Structure 1
Amino acid sequence: MRILVTGGAGFIGGHLAERFTVEGHDVTVIDNFDPFYDVRIKEHTVEQCRNVASEDDGTYQLVKGDIRDAELVSELVAETDVVYHQAAQAGVRQSVENPRKYDDVNVDGTLNVLDAARSTDVDRVVLASSSSVYGKPQYLPYDEDHPTTPVSPYGASKLAAERYAMAYNEVYDLPAVALRYFTVYGPRMRPNMAISNFVSRCVNGNSPVVYGDGTQTRDFTYIDDIVAANQTLLTTDAADGEVMNVGSTDNIEIRTLAEEVLAQLAPELELEFDDRHDADADHTHADIEKASDLLDYAPTYTIREGVEQFIEWYQDNRDWYESLVLSS
């Protein structure tokens, strides 16, 4: 099968591209290598995917380009069976500083992908959305009927993107699915995320820094579970026209997470605290009943198991990854 992964050199997109290549698909990736974080992580991802392609039956092609380039997007989508639209301007806090860029990339860029897809005969567009669309919780866990009242421009842009995808499904009969990811982590994750920061600081004898009092909770989802949900959508139309949560259902206080990392790596250290950012969500917790019903989705990692996996990977890849984490 011919698969296009937008943002395919990024964290989630890179893992999707790698898995699809291993499975023997013909994978094309478009990524603009935006320097939101050190692009050497993306370069490492591309190298990994190329190595996989040389060893397996799948093919891998990298196109350095931007989803805001409508002509380029149209050319790539025209040669594709399934589009995994992962490209986005990430960063909740940064979106407060520059909201128009988030609209430009996450909304207009998504429209380019959707317009190209409805003009061809693609089997499906799978859109990466976010738990940030929910905003302040009225109840937990979030199910898909929970009001969507995002508190950051990033969350607003992801909500707009998924609403467009659902509208295109309805009006143009474009098969589209939106997956609301809940705080994804794992190998090659963005270096300025809580887990990577906690681990890197502990490994180097520095106390983890918790923003706020640490009572905020997150539903952290290990990357392999995210990949599994996306894989299912290669072969089923059961979720076309639907938005659904993809999480772990296993939420944890940020403070407790930091203490877990401390216990594993540096039990002699103590936590440090700093001011919390206003755009950060108080809590996230996913109800995954819908994804379970439609995709037979079942997360396989608890947060503690996933953190153990990430620590093992971090220590194996410390030489190249650590300098990027510490400089972010």
Structure 2
Amino acid sequence: MDILVTGGAGFIGGHLAERFVRDGHDVVVLDNFDPYYDRRLKEHNVKVAREATEASEGTYELVEGDVRDENLVADLVGGVDYVYHQAAQAGVRANIEPRKYHTVNVDGTLNVLDAARETDLERIVFASSSSVYGKARYLPYDEAHVTEPVSPYGASKLAAERYGLVYGDRYDVPFVSLRYFTVYGPRMRPNMAISNFVSRCTNGDPPEIYGDGSKTRDFTYIEDVLDANRTLLHEDAADGEILNIGSTDTISIERLAETVRDELAPDLDIVYSEGYDIDAEHTHADISKASELLGYEPSRTIEEGVREFIAWYRDNRAWYEPLVRGE
């Protein structure tokens, strides 16, 4: 298969590109190397994906460009069978003007959708987010839960997702939206809670929680996200659908900090700082729809995934830790 991964040098996109290459596919990655987080992480993701070609029949091509470039996107989409659209301006509480979320996440998605109208594309798989739900009316969230995002990021993801469904209905563009719930694992974004807790405990610093630690999250291990995405290379049952991709295994931020602390530095005390009002109180995914349509099943508890990440962190500390600590 010929596959385009937009945002393919990022965390999830980088893992997808690497896995598709290892599976023997021909992969084109589009990424603009936005400095939202350290470019060195994206360069490492590119390096790993390129190295995957050495033991595979798959190929890898990097195009440094932007999903807001309509002509470039049209050219790339026209040459592939599948598009995994991961490119986005990330950050729920980032100090970024709302219009940038719109131009990247909405206009960029429209460029992909418009290009797909002119091709015989097999499928667009869109990376959406649990941020589209906003304040929980009930838990776990199912896909029918009201969507009232409380951040520009969440609003832009919802708008892009809706455009995709409209294009699927009106223009026969095969489109699937995967709503991810806090994805973590090796090579995760350096500013995530887990990576920060691990870094601090590894260096003898107490894990720091923003708020009182009572907020809960449904953390999803990267391998489970990859499995859902790979299934969509041969499964069309989810075309035109929205699917939650989570773990169903929730944990409070305080318990998460304790889990990391107990594994690495049991004598440390946890410290607390002022929280962020824009953060969701709780997230919890109902994955019954993804299970029914894709056979999706999470493979790890949060405790198992954290232990795997800690082992990876220890093996990769020399290059990864400076990114987490902003050095």
Q: TM-score range by the shorter chain?
A: over 0.9
Distance in 2 separating the partners of 1:266 and 1:119: 56
Partner of 1:108: 107
Distance in 1 separating the partners of 2:90 and 2:96: 13
- What secondary structure is seen at the aligned counterpart in 2 of 1:36? coil
Partner of 1:192: 191
- What secondary structure is seen at the aligned counterpart in 2 of 1:225? helix
1:89-100 → structure 2 map (5 Å cutoff): 89-94=89-94, 97-100=96-99
Between the aligned residues of both structures, percent identity stands at 67
Unaligned runs of 5+ in 2: none
- What secondary structure is seen at the aligned counterpart in 2 of 1:83? strand
Q: Once the two structures are superposed, what CA deviation does each residue of 1:88-115 show, in whole Å capped at 9, x if it has no partner?
A: 0000001x64111000100000000110
Distance in 1 separating the partners of 2:31 and 2:293: 30
Residue 118 of structure 1 and its aligned partner are, at CA, apart by: 1.2
Q: Once the two structures are superposed, what CA deviation does each residue of 1:243-291 show, in whole Å capped at 9, x if it has no partner?
A: 0100000010000000000000010101111111111110000000000
Partner of 1:241: 240
Distance in 2 separating the partners of 1:241 and 1:97: 31
Partner of 1:70: 70
Partner of 2:176: 177
Root mean square deviation of aligned Cα: 0.7
Distance in 2 separating the partners of 1:23 and 1:299: 21
Unaligned runs of 5+ in 1: none
Q: Which amino acid aligns with 1:278?
A: D
Distance in 2 separating the partners of 1:277 and 1:110: 29
Distance in 1 separating the partners of 2:198 and 2:158: 31
Q: Does 1:295 align with 2:294?
A: yes
Q: Once the two structures are superposed, what CA deviation does each residue of 1:281-306 show, in whole Å capped at 9, x if it has no partner?
A: 10000000000000000010110000
Partner of 2:261: 262
Distance in 2 separating the partners of 1:86 and 1:118: 19
Q: Once the two structures are superposed, what CA deviation does each residue of 1:16-58 show, in whole Å capped at 9, x if it has no partner?
A: 0000000000000000000000000000110111111122110
Q: Once the two structures are superposed, what CA deviation does each residue of 1:128-176 show, in whole Å capped at 9, x if it has no partner?
A: 0000000000000000010000011100000001000000000001100
Residue 200 of structure 1 and its aligned partner are, at CA, apart by: 0.3
Residue 5 of structure 1 and its aligned partner are, at CA, apart by: 0.2
1:261/1:22 Cα in 2 relative to 1: closer, same or farther (>3 Å)? same
Q: Once the two structures are superposed, what CA deviation does each residue of 1:183-202 show, in whole Å capped at 9, x if it has no partner?
A: 00011100001000000000
Distance in 2 separating the partners of 1:235 and 1:248: 23
Distance in 1 separating the partners of 2:70 and 2:301: 40
Q: Which amino acid aligns with 1:275?
A: E
Q: Which amino acid aligns with 1:146?
A: H
Partner of 1:53: 53
TM superposition score normalised by structure 1: 0.99
Partner of 1:44: 44
Partner of 1:157: 156
1:210-225 → structure 2 map (5 Å cutoff): 210-225=209-224
What stretches of structure 1 move > 3 A for 4+ residues in a row?
Answer: none
